[in-house]
Amino acid sequence: MVASLLPGSNAPSLASEASAVRSRTLKTSIGCTGVGLHSGAKVTMVLHPAEPGTGIRFRRVDINGGGAIVPAIWSAVHDTRMNSCLKNDDGIVVGTVEHLMSALAGMQIDNCLIDINGPEVPVMDGSAAPFLFLIECAGVVEQSAPRQAIKVLKRVSVKDGDRVASLTPSSGFSIRFEIDFGASAISRQEFFVNLSRGTFKSEISRARTFGFEQEVAFLRANGLARGGSLDNAVVIDSTGTRVLNDEGLRYTDEFVRHKVLDAVGDLYLAGAPLIGHFHGIRCGHALNNQLLRALFADQTAWTLTTVAPGSAAAPFAAEPQRAALSA
């Protein structure tokens, strides 16, 4: 993504630029139309290639004049109720960004401008798979600038009761997540994944968001889940024992895998890929964002580094065409 969005003065640890891995963007523009999970409104979104240093940015094309650009960065997260919602300095919002951000992270897209004509990213089928498909269809190109990553240097953690989120140093990017629900359809689940070649697409991308039948009325009364349906979420019945979706689950532990998917997207709001290990225990969007805030509040906990070939942050999701853009 873009180093200029990162806080503090941690200078990059520079490898040889000639040998460094290149940043990536889309080869061509591509779009989709769907409904917002919480707003229920129809929305059209188009992903565009972007110059090196752009990072991931949303552009509200339904907003006239200035202030339409909303950067996808941790410091812009202002609402974490059931989603990660961004708001810029002019008060313009883009909500439910986590599934798209997860797909961009999984495909290792550093620079992308996203046009959207409403305040919420379309939910599609409730997973990251449709966005991953869009990116694959658009294609990926390498750029002239080296890829940068945020390397975790020491343990950072945040806690809220029995909910915990932490980052620790690691040679790659891995996630361990634990959930524990009273509903027997979910119960206790734990999942670990090392985000190496192909694992995001095969192990994480298809896991859908989930909810409970008895919560629907309350959520809608509070302006949430108005676009939710069995077409874009896994729903557990009021007894907590049965999944209502006719097709059942995509993975036997789809619930915890979706929490991993959310975490991948939330953590990509760091402003660059992370090199470190994330451990989440019953946490969600709020703690994920608090964890990034705690990380960047401690200048000794991280450093910005260029990515060397063969390193953990080198591209693994797709083979790009070697077409460089201007720096």
Catalytic (active-site) positions: 285
Rounded to whole angstroms, the Cα distance separating 319 from 139 reads: 9
Which residue has 């009273």 as its token pair?
A: 182
Token look-up 């798209």 returns 100
**Cβ pair 316, 307 in contact under 8 A:** no
CA atoms within 13 A on the CB side of 72: 35
Task: Estimate to the nearest angstrom the gap between the alpha carbon of 178 and the chain centroid.
Answer: 18
Pick from 145, 72, 67: nearest CA to 112: 72
Q: How far are the Cα atoms of 63, 147, 219, 268, 269 from residue 272, in angstroms, in the given order?
A: 27, 9, 33, 6, 7
Alpha helices in the chain (DSSP H): 98-106, 129-138, 199, 216-221, 254-267, 285-297
* Helix/strand/coil percentages in the chain, nearest 5: 20, 30, 45
Minimal CA–CA distance to 141: which of 270, 25, 47, 46?
A: 25
The Cα diameter of the chain in Å comes to 60
